[in-house]
Amino acid sequence: MLDSLLSDANQRLEKALRYVTLCEDAIERLKYPKASLTVSIPVRLDDGSLRMFQGYRVRYDDSRGPTKGGVRFHPNVTLDEVQSLAFWMTFKCAALSLPFGGAKGGITLNPKELSKFELERLSRGYIDAIADFIGPDVDIPAPDVYTNPMIMGWMMDQYSTIRRQITPGVVTGKPITMGGSLGRETATAMGAFFVMQAILPRFGLPPAGTTVAVQGFGNAGAVIAELLYRAGYKVVAVSDSQGAIYASQGLDIPSIRQFKESSRGIKAVYCQGTVCNIIEHEVLTNAELLTLNVDVLIPAALENQITAANANDIKAKYIFEVANGPITSEADQLLEAKGIHVFPDILVNAGGVTVSYFEWVQNRNGLYWSLEEVNRRLEAKMTEETEKIWAIAQELTISMRTAAYVHALNRLGEAIRAKGTRDYYVN
């Protein structure tokens, strides 16, 4: 546990352990990833030059089933980050009672610097390098930061080519025509919306008049912003990597999304526009958005956005983590001391992996569900687990984050115990 991000993530585990009865075997196993793979991926660029990219895949724990987790393309990807994300995925799958363990993958690069052809060669090269490490019954990748259905389709196709058989279940988040599930692209945001709908009424916060700021206007952030807007919430600020916009009377989220999407180049894989080009607003930095005086703050970008350095400046009373790990463990303590309610990523953003599970099930059965069926099942799952975690938090008088880890630990402990532990052999 020497790596900083993973050490920080492990502090959440240590805190939750005070409230569960877990065998020594389970505690020891959950402190370390099961397997980590680092690969070098050679890619022939369009100008004929060769460039090497560093890639990673980590399977953290498979006590409850094959591991599951996204693949991100980002300049800041490191093995430490990927291990931390795989750790969170382990607890997320257990908290939602999915038959998966946790995994994660990534490649260190700025994907916007590559052409579509170069991205395809990179994506296929990544699968060439990790093909023996993944599989529909071993480890199932999915989209994450700067990866999308097209990239997942390339990865599934490359794995199928290697195995000499069509294998849709090896990857989720694929295009619909390649075995993807309806509702997968919006699942992370939709799941978060269902959690918010279950939680906010408990605090007497109806949609009308409840102000919201969303940091991150990518796939998850843009969709949750529009879902809240259409439900009647007042979304007053949003941001992307270039900065933020704010309007106290509320923003027209559908118009902002339309602008962002229409500014995309015809041949581009990634959106090239920025929300900061929208007129009639106040321009802020991402850091300033986090400290706005709003009811609800939604970090939907990257990890470590709220730290000890800015936690005391946070004014929102309710934070829903749509991003993975946006709040450090040290900041958690400061926010809790201020009476700010934090609803953790391993619950709030679990809609993505839940619908990935639905996609995996559909691939294996060869029977595909309607969008209405997918969303109905997603709402039922997210609401059910939110209520269970809420009940634990109230019973033990602990935060929702700690309650979510307690809930997950109980399920992980049962799975590890079922395979035989020291207690079984000693007694």
Q: Is the dihedral of CA 228, 229, 235, 241 positive or negative?
A: positive
Q: What is the rounded average pLDDT of the residues 396-416?
A: 92
Which band of pLDDT confidence, cut at 50, 70 and 90, is reported for residue 102? very high
Q: Whole-angstrom Cα distance, residue 93 to residue 115?
A: 34
Domains located in the chain, CATH noted:
33-169 (3.40.50.10860), 187-348 (3.40.50.720)
Q: Apex CA 74: angle with CA 73 and CA 76, to 5°?
A: 140
Q: Whole-angstrom Cα distance, residue 366 to residue 225?
A: 34
pLDDT at 289: 92
How is residue 237 annotated by DSSP?
A: E
pLDDT at 367: 94
Which band of pLDDT confidence, cut at 50, 70 and 90, is reported for residue 262? low
Q: Whole-angstrom Cα distance, residue 91 to residue 88?
A: 5
pLDDT tens-digit map of 135-149: 999 999 999 888 999
Q: Which residues are catalytic?
A: 104
pLDDT at 272: 44
Q: What is the rounded average pLDDT of the residues 159-165?
A: 97
- Is residue 64 pLDDT above 90, yes or no? yes
Are 407 and 413 contacting, i.e. CB atoms less than 8 angstroms apart?
no
Name residue 148's amino acid.
Answer: N
Q: Average pLDDT of the chain?
A: 89
Of residues 127, 146, 152, 151, the one with CA closest to residue 57: 127
Q: Tell me the Cα Rg of the chain.
A: 21
Which band of pLDDT confidence, cut at 50, 70 and 90, is reported for residue 349? very high
Q: Is 56 helix (H, G, I), strand (E, B) or coil?
A: strand
Name residue 215's amino acid.
Answer: Q
- Is residue 267 pLDDT above 80, yes or no? no
Name, of 6-10, 220-224, 282-286, the range with top average pLDDT: 220-224
Which band of pLDDT confidence, cut at 50, 70 and 90, is reported for residue 88? confident
How is residue 186 annotated by DSSP?
A: T
Are 45 and 51 contacting, i.e. CB atoms less than 8 angstroms apart?
yes
Burial call 14-36: b when 16+ CB within 10 Å, e when fewer: ebbbebbebeebbbeebeebbeb
Are 210 and 268 contacting, i.e. CB atoms less than 8 angstroms apart?
no
pLDDT tens-digit map of 313-329: 999 999 999 998 899 88
How is residue 225 annotated by DSSP?
A: H
Of residues 352, 365, 374, the one with CA closest to residue 147: 352
pLDDT tens-digit map of 165-224: 999 999 999 999 999 999 998 999 999 999 999 999 999 999 988 999 999 888 889 999
Q: Walk across the sheet containing 67-74 and list its strands.
A: 35-44, 50-61, 101-108, 67-74, 139-143
Q: Apex CA 208: angle with CA 204 and CA 213, to 5°?
A: 90
Instruction: Give the whole-number percent of the chain exceeding pLDDT 70.
Output: 91
pLDDT tens-digit map of 103-129: 999 999 999 999 999 999 999 999 999
Structure tokens at 8: 């920080």
Q: Is pTM, for the whole model, over 0.95?
A: no
- Is residue 405 pLDDT above 90, yes or no? yes
Are 368 and 377 contacting, i.e. CB atoms less than 8 angstroms apart?
no
